[in-house]
Amino acid sequence: MTTTSQDLERTKQRNQLSQARLLGLVNRVRELGLLVVLLLIILIVGIQAPRFLSIDNFEQILLSIAILVIVAVGETLVVLTRNVDLSVGSMVGLTAFVTAYFFKQLPGINLLLGILLGCALGLVLGMINGLIVSFGRVPAIVATLGTLYVYRGLVFVFAANTTSQINASDVPGGYLALATTQILGIPSLILIATVIAVIVGYFLHASPTGRQLYAVGSNPDAATIIGIRRDWLVFAAFAASGLLCGLAGVLWGARFGTVDATNATGLELAVIAAVVVGGVNIFGGSGTILGVVLGAMVLGTLQNALNILNISQFWLQALYGAAILGAVVLDAFITRWLKRYILSRRKKV
């Protein structure tokens, strides 16, 4: 190999790199797009109602989506592996109720113990999901549809045998303070959600196990052939989703104070909306936590905007639906455009 041909190869490689970077950027289109949509909403609504742009309001938005983000992060782990967890709403409801009840019955108990209880319960529920899917070989949509019912039923059984409702006055102030404390001026809920998003996001990027999650969703058979332990990874993803739902349940009880058996019913819809709008492929293999957070922010901002503009909240669900549909339709067109671009690029070679 002469020096000049080596240089030529290196130049070609650099060109390739910039082309690759461009293509990689296209993958980032979703996050950029969400940012743009977010800014647009802020702009449009901000002009109409200046109080939309206040720090206070911004904090309100973040507070409203904090718990959603925590659950959506767990759901993302599951969806990345080409599965889905429909039972998240029931898991949050169950852990919220049990935790609140725990604090009501044992008011002097250590706060940490209560938190651990909620998380542990969530973990167990998630592991059951994982067992049914991974080792019972039941399709995730069937399994978590079933556990959606079973876990929700358990809340009602629990409530029937204890108390139908737990009020804010029944639980120790320390528990409620979980949601209202401020650290460095930022509400703890927002901090917790941020920390979790950052940790899981980092895990997905920096840990080999996290990368294997992507592989499992992208091509499950290829993953098995190269020795990735698919069953364990899927099990772990469901367990993690349960754990995060447990934490979310603990915070739910702290935030809302009044807890009954219908808590968090239907939460799975908002979670899946955040995940889909956030750019996670429902067939697995691609998606980022950043995207999911931005997706949740777009949805939360929309809800807040409706409030501020005095548009009835009744438009909210319709908007959620439109957002999900818009996201998938857009994805289909972007994929088509990408394929055409790649094909045309190839013809020039």
Partner 1 sequence: MKRLKALLISWDALLVALLLIGAVIGSVVSPYFLSSYNLENALPSNIMEIAIMALPMTLIIIAGEIDLSVASVLGLASVVLGLLWESGHPMWLAIGVALLVGLVAGCLNGLLVTRLALPSLVVTIGTLALYRGLAYVVLGDKAVSDFPTAFTNLGFGSIPGTQIPWSVLIFAILVVIFGVVLHVSRWGRQIYAMGNNKEAARFSGINVGRVKLILFMLSGVIAALAGVIFTSRFSSARPDNAVGFELTVVTVVLLGGVNIFGGRGSLLGVVLAIFIVGVLENALSLVNISGDIQSLTIGLLLILSVLGPNIARRIQVAIAHRRLAMGSIKQV
Partner 2 sequence: MTNPPEPIVELSMIAKQFGGVQALRGVDLKLLPGEVHALVGENGAGKSTLVKILAGIHRPDAGVMKVGGEVVELRSPIQAQALGIAVVQQEPMMFPDLDVAENVFMGRHPRDRFGRVEWKRMYQEVDQLLASLDVSLSSHTPVQGLSVAEQQLVEIAKALSLQARVLVLDEPTAALSSHEVDELFAIVKQLRERRVAILFVSHRLEEVFTLADRLTVFRDGTHIITAPVSEMTTEAIIKYMVGRELSNLYPKSEAKIGEVVLEVRHLTRPGVFADVSFQLRRGEILGFAGLVGAGRTEVARVLFGIDQAESGETWLKGKQVRIRSPQQAMEYGIAYVPEDRHQQGLVMNFSIASNITLAILQLVSRLGLLDPRREQKIASEYSSQLRVRSSGVGQVVSALSGGNQQKVVLGKWLATNPSVLILDEPTRGIDVGAKAEVHRIISELAASGLAIILISSELPEVLAMADRVLVLHEGRITGTFPRSEATQERVMFAATGQER
Cβ 83 to partner 2 shortest distance, Å: 16
Told to check if 139 binds partner 1 by CB under 8 A, we report yes
Q: Between 17 and 157, whose beta carbon lies closer to partner 2? A: 17
Cβ 130 to partner 1 shortest distance, Å: 13
Told to check if 107 binds partner 1 by CB under 8 A, we report no
Cβ 256 to partner 1 shortest distance, Å: 19
Q: Which residue has the tokens 């528990």?
A: 175
Q: Which residue in the set 267, 272, 274, 289 belongs to the binding site for partner 1 (CB under 8 A)?
A: 272
Told to check if 65 binds partner 1 by CB under 8 A, we report no
d(CA 28, CA 155): 41
Cβ 137 to partner 2 shortest distance, Å: 19
Select the binding partner of residue 328 from partner 2, partner 1, none (C-beta < 5 to 8 A, by kind): partner 1
Give 119's Cβ-side CA count (13 Å radius). Answer: 12
Told to check if 147 binds partner 1 by CB under 8 A, we report yes
Q: Which residue in the set 14, 20, 266, 342 belongs to the binding site for partner 1 (CB under 8 A)?
A: 266
**Under a CB-based contact definition with an 8 Å cutoff, are residues 235 and 132 in contact?**
no
Cβ 100 to partner 1 shortest distance, Å: 18
Q: Between 27 and 110, whose beta carbon lies closer to partner 2? A: 27
Cβ 209 to partner 1 shortest distance, Å: 27
Residues 16-55 within binding reach of partner 1 (CB under 8 A): none
Residues 326-345 within binding reach of partner 1 (CB under 8 A): 328-329, 332
Q: In degrees rounded to 5, what are phi and psi of residue 287?
A: 140, 150
Give Dmax (Cα) for the chain: 83
Instruction: Decide the pairing of beta strands 165-166 and 182-183.
Output: unpaired
Radius of gyration of the chain (CA): 22
Cβ 265 to partner 1 shortest distance, Å: 8
**Under a CB-based contact definition with an 8 Å cutoff, are residues 171 and 291 in contact?**
no
d(CA 291, CA 293): 5
- Nearby residues of 189 by Cβ (< 8 Å), 6 or more positions away: 63, 66, 67, 178, 179, 251, 255
d(CA 31, CA 53): 22
Select the binding partner of residue 289 from partner 2, partner 1, none (C-beta < 5 to 8 A, by kind): none
Q: Which residue in the set 20, 25, 309, 315 belongs to the binding site for partner 1 (CB under 8 A)?
A: 315
Told to check if 149 binds partner 1 by CB under 8 A, we report yes
- Nearby residues of 48 by Cβ (< 8 Å), 6 or more positions away: 309
Residue 345: what residue type?
Answer: R
Select the binding partner of residue 318 from partner 1, partner 2, none (C-beta < 5 to 8 A, by kind): partner 1
d(CA 172, CA 176): 7
Cβ 7 to partner 1 shortest distance, Å: 45
Structure tokens at 316: 């909210």
Binding footprint of partner 2 on the chain (CB under 8 A): 1, 9-10, 12-13, 15-17, 19-21, 23-24, 27, 205-208, 211-212, 214-215, 217-219, 221-223, 225-228, 281, 285-286, 338, 342, 345-347
Give the closest residue to 197 by CA, choosing from 291, 129, 273, 261: 291
Told to check if 111 binds partner 1 by CB under 8 A, we report no
Separate counts of helices (H) and strands (E) for the chain: 14, 4
Q: Between 3 and 310, whose beta carbon lies closer to partner 2? A: 3
